[in-house]
Each structure stands twice: as C-alpha cells, then as structure tokens.
Amino acid sequence: MARPPDSALGSIWQFPPLHDLPPEEDFIAVGADLEPGTILGAYTQGYFPMPVDRRRIGWFSPDPRGVLRPSSLQMSRSLRRSMRRYSISVNQAFDQILAACSDPARPNGWIDRRIKRAYTRLHHLGWAHSVEVWDDDGLAGGLYGIGIAGLFAGESMFHRRTDASKVALVHLVELLGTGPATIIDVQWLTPHLASLGAEAVSRNEYRRLLTAALDQGSPMAPVPGSS
C-alpha cells in the first residue's frame, strides 16, 4: 500500500480502487495499521482486514463477494419457531460477543488480540455493533460488525444453541430495515448464509451496491454511551 502525503485527509493509507484489481483475487494487500480511520476507510472502499500472521495485517476484497439484501432474507418455519425461544439485545454485550467469536477453539479462528483491540475501540466510537441472543442459560449466540450509512459489514457470528446465530442475523435485518440501498456484507458466501438469502455478486456489482449504500442515511442507532 502506498502512503500519501501527510496533508491527505482521513487515513494515511491508500487502497487500490476496486476497478483496478485483478478479477477473482481475494487477498489484495498487506501492511498498514488498524487505526479507526484506516479500518473505516477500508470498508468504504470495499476492503476489510484479517491477520496474515503474528506481525502483518492483510486486506481483502473477495471476488465474488457475499451480500445479503435485507429484502431478500429467507426464513424457514423452523427458524420462525426458534425466534420465539430467544430474547434479543443490541450493543449490550459487545465484549462477550467478541470473546465468543474469537474463541481459539473455533475452527478456522482468525480474530486475534489486534483485531479485538481495534474493534473494541470502534465500538466505543460508535461504529462497531453487536446483536446478542439470549435464553434462560445465558448468551446463546450473536454477531458483530461495522455500520456505515446503509452498509453493515458483518465480521463474525457464533452460536451455542440451535439457530441462535441465524436469529441474530434476522434481528439485524429487522434493525436495518429494507431500504432499497441497504446491504449486509457477509464477505464470502457460505451454504449457511445462502440458505438465508445471501448471494454472491461480482466485485464490480459490489462496488455499485457499496456506493449506493454509502449514499444512504444510517439505519443503525448510536451505540449507547459511545462518544
């Protein structure tokens, strides 16, 4: 990544324009930092961070990209029944959600101490949000991500009880509403997400959707107690 002059506004790091990227390449760049301005700037340009190793941060822009449009959400009968078993909160247990998502025992775990510190800071600043799903035994599942205007960039989700992560996603969709430009970026499409209505779009299509989402007003309420 190139570093622009100190007089540049926003993050000191520049990301390559999406239209300049080679097709079907997901891992685009390495380096930079995890300052709030860098992360937020990355999302607005179609990137997100993931650790490459203990020292370096990688920046990804999948092609194709997994996207869920709230109006496309699909709910099975069993999921509708599960909705009645749980209670929901928003931004009330962000630390617990992040800890559960970063559990090193999870397969393919990638959330390390650097990511936890960066997204906790973004939560305190009002950008990172969590949806918590509870039952009588405590925290059953949830998700967290970044909300910028009409974009919600989902970072991770987990469940300890049946359908709890799906219930969190359904509530997120209800929270966001069905604005025509609102999108949930799920990064890579999985069978689990496809069953809920997510789809894979080309990078060029994602760039169009992202531009429209960023032009839309924010559907997310401020994080309570954030600055």
> Digits of tens for pLDDT over the chain (227 positions)?
333 333 333 678 989 999 999 999 999 999 999 999 999 999 999 999 999 988 899 999 999 999 999 999 999 999 999 999 999 999 999 999 999 999 988 877 789 999 999 999 999 999 999 999 999 999 999 999 999 999 999 999 999 999 999 999 999 999 998 788 999 999 999 999 999 999 999 999 999 999 999 998 766 644 433 33
Which of 41, 63, 85 is a domain's end point?
Answer: 63
Residue 32 within any structural domain of the chain: yes
Residue 142 within any structural domain of the chain: yes
- Residue 52 sits in the same domain as residue 110: no
- Residue 34 sits in the same domain as residue 126: no
Element (H, E) at 39: helix 36-44
- Residue 34 sits in the same domain as residue 127: no
Q: Centre a 10 Å sphere on the Cβ of residue 8 and count the other Cβ atoms it contains.
A: 11
- Residue 90 sits in the same domain as residue 57: no
- Residue 132 sits in the same domain as residue 22: no
Q: Taking the model in full, what pTM does it have? A: 0.89
Q: Strand 183-187 vs strand 151-159: parallel, antiparallel, or unpaired?
A: parallel
Residue 10 within any structural domain of the chain: no
- Residue 149 sits in the same domain as residue 191: yes
Which residue range forms the structural domain that includes residue 203? 66-214
C-alpha 176/C-alpha 162 separation (Å) is 24
Q: Strand 48-51 vs strand 138-148: parallel, antiparallel, or unpaired?
A: unpaired
C-alpha 155/C-alpha 148 separation (Å) is 13
- Residue 110 sits in the same domain as residue 201: yes
Q: Kindly report, residue by residue over 202-223, the tens digit of the pLDDT.
A: 999 999 999 999 998 766 644 4
- Residue 107 sits in the same domain as residue 27: no
The one-character DSSP state at 19 is G
C-alpha 9/C-alpha 52 separation (Å) is 27
Which of 32, 47, 63 is a domain's end point?
Answer: 63
Tell me what pLDDT residue 119 has. Answer: 97
Tell me what pLDDT residue 219 has. Answer: 66
- Residue 39 sits in the same domain as residue 103: no
Which of 10, 45, 63 is a domain's end point?
Answer: 63
Domain of residue 100, CATH code: 3.40.630.70
Number of domains in the chain: 2
- Residue 93 sits in the same domain as residue 188: yes
Residue 201 within any structural domain of the chain: yes
Tell me what pLDDT residue 12 has. Answer: 85
Tell me what pLDDT residue 2 has. Answer: 37
- Residue 178 sits in the same domain as residue 121: yes
